[in-house]
Structure 1
Amino acid sequence: MSAIPSAATRANLPSPATIQQLHHYAYKARDAEETRHFYEDILGLPLYHIIQSDYVPSTGEYCPYTHFFFRLNDGSFIAFFDIGDDEKPLPSPNTPPWVNHIAFRVDTVADLEATKARLQAHGIEVLGITDHHIFKSIYFFDPNGIRLELSAQLAGEALMARESRTAHARLAEWTERKQQWRKERAAGKVTESLKPGTNDRPEFVPGS
Structure 2
Amino acid sequence: YPSGNLAIIVVREKKRLICIVREDKPTKATIQAVFQSNGRSTCYYPSGTVWINMNIHGGQYLDQTGSRVRRWMWPNSVISSGPHVPLSPIFISLNRHVGVRILGQDKITVSFLAMGQQAKFNVGTKVQVSDIGRLPPPARLDEEELLLLAFRLRILRLFDRLRGCLNFPSNEQWEKIKPPAYLITQALKILQLCTASDISDELRSSVRAIVNA
TM-score band, normalised by shorter chain: under 0.3
TM-score, with structure 2 as normaliser: 0.23
Higher relative contact order (CA 8 A, sep 6+): 1
Q: TM-score, normalised by structure 1?
A: 0.23
